[in-house]
Amino acid sequence: MTATAEGKAAGAAAGPVRVILASQSPRRRELLDLIGMRHEVRPADIDERVLPGERPAPHAERLAREKARTIARAEPDALTIGSDTIVVVDGDILGKPSDEGDARRMLRRLSGREHVVFTAVAVAHAERVASSVEEVSVTFRPLSDEVIDAYVATGEPMDKAGAYGIQGYGATIVERIDGDFFAVMGLALGRMVRLMGELGFEYAFGPPVRRGAARGAEDAS
C-alpha cells in the first residue's frame, strides 16, 4: 500500500460517524446537546415489561441493549445509544405513573427516605454492543400532601420514572444524591463515553464522534 493509500485508509478508520439516540426522552437529547454530541433521534419500539423473576438492574440493562440493538440493526453504519432509567424502592420498580393518583402514591412512598436509581446505557454499532449500569442513591426530604399535590399539578411527574424529575421542579424535593447526577436525569454520560471507547469510537469534547481503536468490545450475540 502506498503512503497516500495508507493515509486514506487511516482517515476512513478515524472518520466521523453518525450518532443515533434510540429514545424519545427530551432529557437525554438535552444531555447529548450539553456535551456537543450531534445526534439523530429514532425511538426504539420495544416491550418494556419486566420479565418474571427479573431483577431491577438486569432489567434496565436488557432494555437499554434492546433499544440500541433494534436501531443498530436498521442503521449498521451509525453508532446507536440506548438507555433506560428505573427507580427502585423496597425492591419494587417504580415506572412512569399511570395517572395523577399513581404519581401521588409514588411520591408518598419516596417521601423522607432513600431510593435507588438505576440507569443503564448501551452503545451499539452493527452487530457489536457494550452496556453497563450506573447505580445512584437518592434521598427525598419529607413531603406533605400539599407539597405532593402542588408538584403533581405542574405535570412534571407524569412522564418520569418514580414520578419526579431531578432537573426540574423535582430538584427542590431531593435532599441528597450519592452518585452520577446525569444518570438520575436519564443518561450516564461518563459511562456512555467509556462504552463508546470499548467499541472503538472517540468523543473529543464536541462534534463529531470518530472511529478509533476498539478496546475490549463485546459481541452482540
The H or E element spanning position 36 is none
**Main-chain phi, psi angles of 51, to 5 degrees:** -75, 155
Partners of 212 in the β-ladder = none
Identify whether 102 is a catalytic site residue.
no
**DSSP per position, 183-200:** HHHT--HHHHHHHHHHTT
Q: Which of 77, 84, 90, 149 is catalytic?
A: 84
Q: Which runs of E-coded beta strand occur in the chain?
A: 19-21, 40-41, 79-89, 92-94, 114-125, 128-140, 174-178, 201-202, 210-211
Residue with cell 405532593: 148
Mind telling me the catalytic residues? 84
